[in-house]
Structure 1
Amino acid sequence: MRNIIGQAVSGNDFFERPQIVRKIRRSIRAGNWIYLSAPRRVGKTSIMNHLQENPEDNQQFVYAITQSIDSVDGFYKELAKQVIDSPAFRTMSKVSDTLKKVAGGLLQRINLKVSVPFLEISLDKGEPINFQTDFEKLLEEIDLNGDRLIIMVDEFTETVDNILHKHGNQEARRFLQLFRELTHNRKLTGKVQFLLTGSIGLQPLVKKLDASDLVNQLQYIDIPALTVDEACQLFRQLIKQEGIDIDDETILFIIQKIDWLMPFHVQLLVQEVIDVFESSGNPIDQAKANKAYEQVFHQRNKIYFEQYYERLKKRLEPGAEYQFVHDILNRSTADEPLEKAVVHDLAVKHEITDRYKAIVESLEYDGYLHQTADNTAYRFNSSILKTWWKKYVC
């Protein structure tokens, strides 16, 4: 297993978590439309890669990432592009005239250079096209000889958020309404499903839009952080080829320093352990392991954490909302948890008492904070993110 930092992995580089994969597969077999709920750096895209590379019988997968898309038309245009360019579509044996016409028209409009033998009908370029309705017609006409088409959409919530920021609440709600109608299209039952993911929490986002009823048809599957055993196992697999002498007690010591066991954080830690090994040799004891942990916060690794800060600047309204969140996260770097009463006082200070709870909830969904066991205060989810924030942002 290679230690690939910051990118989705596949094949032998994928660290499988069988319980999560089984849960997703059961839901697909049941015919559900699924939303994988987890903050960034958990490995959602890698899980989708694994599903696509290892389909069960009678399943064919298509992957699309819509992170930069900010319109209804743009969303369905990208989905049409990925479906038409997929092996599942290009190798169909049963093709209706309606499918030829719809797909031919879409193919011209998306400027996709791909050879599809049965697409011979040309649509006049002056004829208007609605990507949403034509994509739905495309799905209705697809016949995969009994196979199901599972369309995986990465960063679905980013798309909703992009539409909200560019076009406003009404258009974001319209986007969700159209997608809900797609999920209830009976002609798609048993042959088309969607698997959605997003690094922005979907529930606080739709709550902000007063649109929770538009996504309650989805089955939510949480992808939690690694267990300690899983994190230690991943650590071992990543250093296997490096010739590093490190005992189980030291691995546990360094893993427990991470606190919130994201696969990416384990990978980053392994990278620094290898660096220490190359400079000082075996064995890796607790002192060397601690040095590796401190190196995680070196300037060279800032790029991996900047997105947490940049995302807040991009998504929060400038002024009161941004300053409120900045205050919360700054105060959360203290050793003691941040009391909810203090959070409320900060909301009063910044004059956002009408919406501060939704903002804090989004920080929880997005992986910044969690509530203490007694539900009276907040802490940073990750000791790594907490230390980085304290060093570079406070």
Structure 2
Amino acid sequence: MPQYQPLTDVLQVLTERLLASENVILSGHRRIGKTQLMQYLEANAPEAFLPTYVIVESADTVDEFYRKLLSHLVDQSFLNRWDALGWQISSRFKTINVQEVGKSVRFGDAKALDYHAEFCRLLEHLEPGRPIVLMLDEFPQALENIRENAGIQHVRKLLTTQRELRQEPRYKGKIRFLYAGSIGLQNVVEGMGFTKHINDLREIKMRPFRRDEARDYLQCLLDKKSLQANDTWLETVMDRIDWLAPFYISLLVDELHASPLAEQHIDEAFQAMIGHRHNFEHWHNRLKPQALTKQEYRFCKTLLSLAADPERLGIDYGEACNLAVQHEVIDKVSRLLNILQHDGYLARDEYNRLRFISPVLRAWWWKEIAN
């Protein structure tokens, strides 16, 4: 892969919000580059705060979630990055005689650690000034895991304790949170009836590449593979991909091998790209339980299959509602359409019809799922 090229406007807004002591949701369609942006910020942050990237996807209890945060903060690779902060954290854990940090954190007397309580005590021990920014990737997936494994009240507990940490005056200047994931946090929380627990967060939206950004990224990928292409060919590739996210551009270039490149190679690469089921299967899996009920899944699958039909120009809202009645989910149609739009399947066109955002994803869905 070439060196990551951040979206400078999005990065600037994100940095400004964090400098303003705000807590943030980084939202955007699946595979649009949220993780790469967070990792870039971690490596190129201003002096005013201390960002660190933590993936919490596997957490399936509230206890495990806070264990992950604690384990990350006491990991030596994190402590070594910040001399003063590392000393504060290390001295705190020396006072409680932590014998092991990892899958299990143990006191010297072998009593179980209350991870949430100890996380709060750690924050109390830190000096304000340069706050830690915990960038929590796949946080929505952790919420769904907790709901499935422990029950919805445990999801409420995690959301309320997180809100308390964001709102507690004692922790101002010590901690900030950035939440992201391949599924939309707002949709997940709304589906559980807990929207009020995140209404203090500021949303920052990712976007696909603009035309000039996509061209630069495409050329960088081709140069890395020593492939030659003229300007007309580059324009044709961008027209064919249309939704100019790094993910789709990278997939197509992965399938190119001839040089100099010609238009026939675009067609061949496109067909090869959608022939790899694993490239897109997560879009299908996201709609299966535990995320949706069987009726909701069948509605979404049918709607997407109709929208993928090359003979159709999209799905209007009335048709979507009729389909929802057939699948007995009419009371949930607004939420389900929000999911399909927010998570990178569909968008409304100039005629207010629902159509696939990406021609690539549309072609794959028609080939692998609809038929």
Q: Which residue of 2 aligns with 1:384?
A: 360
Give the distance between the partners of 1:393 and 1:305, measured in 2 at CA: 11
Query: 2:138: which partner in 1?
Result: 155
In structure 2, what is the equivalent of residue 10 of structure 1?
Answer: none
CA deviation profile, 1:258-296 (whole Å, cap 9, x unmatched): 1211111000111122x2x1xxx32x1223333322322
Cα deviation per residue 1:82-141 (whole Å; 9 max; x = unaligned)? 01115554544764998246764495585469xxxxxxxx54113x43211211111221
Q: Which amino acid aligns with 1:165?
A: E
Work out the CA distance in 1 between the residues paired with 2:168 and 2:270.
Answer: 51
Question: Runs of 5+ in structure 1 lacking a partner?
Answer: 4-12, 114-121
In the other structure, the counterpart of 2:119 is 135
Calculate the TM-score normalised by the size of structure 2.
0.91
User: In the alignment, is residue 99 of structure 1 matched against residue 99 of structure 2?
Assistant: no
* 2:34 aligns with one of 36, 44, 57: 44
1:34 to 2, 8, 24: 24
Residue 305 of structure 1: aligned partner:
280
Between the aligned partners of 1:208 and 1:172, the Cα distance in structure 2 is 12
Shift of 1:312: 1.5
CA deviation string 1:342-374 (max 9, x = no partner): 111111111111112211211111111112234
Structure 1 residue identity aligned to 2:218:
F
Q: Which amino acid aligns with 2:362?
A: K
CA apart distance, 1:155: 0.6
> Alpha carbons of 1:187 and 1:150: their partners in 2 closer, same or farther (altered >3 Å)?
same
The question of 1:315 aligning with 2:290 is answered yes
Q: Which one-letter code corresponds to 1:45 in the other structure?
A: T
Alpha-carbon distance in structure 2 between the residues aligned to 1:134 and 1:209: 28
TM-score, normalisation: structure 1: 0.86
Quick check: 1:39–1:198 contact (8 Å CA) kept in 2? no
Task: Output the aligned Cα RMSD.
Answer: 2.3
Give the aligned residue type for 1:353: I
Does structure 1 residue 343 correspond to structure 2 residue 320? yes
User: How many percent of aligned residue pairs carry the same amino acid?
Assistant: 27
Quick one: distance in 2 between partners of 1:177 and 1:186? 16
Contact 1:32 1:193 in 2 (8 A): yes
For 2:99 and 2:320, how far apart are their aligned partners in 1?
Answer: 50
| Structure 2 Cα separation of the partners of residues 109 and 46 of structure 1 | 25
Contact 1:98 1:141 in 2 (8 A): no
Question: Which letter maps to 2:117?
Answer: T
d(CA) in 1 for partners of 2:283 and 2:328?
24
Larger mean Cα displacement after TM superposition, 76-85 or 352-361: 352-361
**Cα distance change, pair 329–97 in 1 and its aligned pair in 2 (3 A):** closer
How far the C-alpha of 1:224 sits from its partner, in A, is 0.9
Pairing 1:365–2:350 present: no
Q: Do structure 1's residue 64 and structure 2's residue 48 form an aligned pair?
A: no
3-state SS of paired residue (1:22) = helix
Change (3 A) 1:108 1:22: closer
1:149 Cα shift?
1.3
Question: Could you say which residue in structure 1 is the equivalent of 2:305?
Answer: 330
SS at structure 2 position matched to 1:296? helix
Deviation at 1:46, TM superposition (A): 1.1
Corresponding position of 2:225: 242
Distance 1:14 1:163, change over 3 A: same
Classify the secondary structure of the residue corresponding to 2:286.
helix
Q: Structure 2 matches for 1:213-292, cutoff 5 A?
A: 213-273=196-256, 275=257, 277=258, 281-282=259-260, 284-292=261-269
Deviation at 1:69, TM superposition (A): 1.0
Distance 2:76 2:249 in 1: 34
User: Unpaired runs of 5+ in structure 2?
Assistant: none
Q: For this pair of structures, how many residues does the alignment match? A: 365
Distance in 1 separating the partners of 2:268 and 2:368: 19
**Cα drift, residue 223 of structure 1:** 0.4
Match of 1:180 among 149, 163, 167: 163
Query: Would the aligned equivalents of 1:62 and 1:86 in 2 still touch at CA under 8 Å?
Result: no
| Partner in structure 2 of residue 7 of structure 1 | none
- CA drift of 1:330 comes to 0.7
- CA shift at 1:200, angstroms? 1.1
CA distance in 1, matches of 2:369, 2:58: 26
Deviations, residues 45-91 of structure 1 (Å, cap 9, x unaligned):
11111111112114322221111111111100000000111555454
Deviation string for 1:144-193 (max 9, x for gaps)?
A: 7x322111111111111211222333221221111101101212212221
Alignment CA distance shift 1:100-1:255 (3 Å): same
**How far, CA to CA, are the matches of 1:21 and 1:243 in structure 2?**
30
Looking at structure 2, the residues matched to 386 and 41 of structure 1 have their Cα atoms a distance apart, in angstroms, of: 15
The answer on 1:199 being equivalent to 2:190 is no
**Do 1:69 and 1:159's aligned partners in 2 also have CA atoms closer than 8 Å?**
yes
- Provide the rounded CA distance (Å) in 1 between the counterparts of 2:88 and 2:198: 32
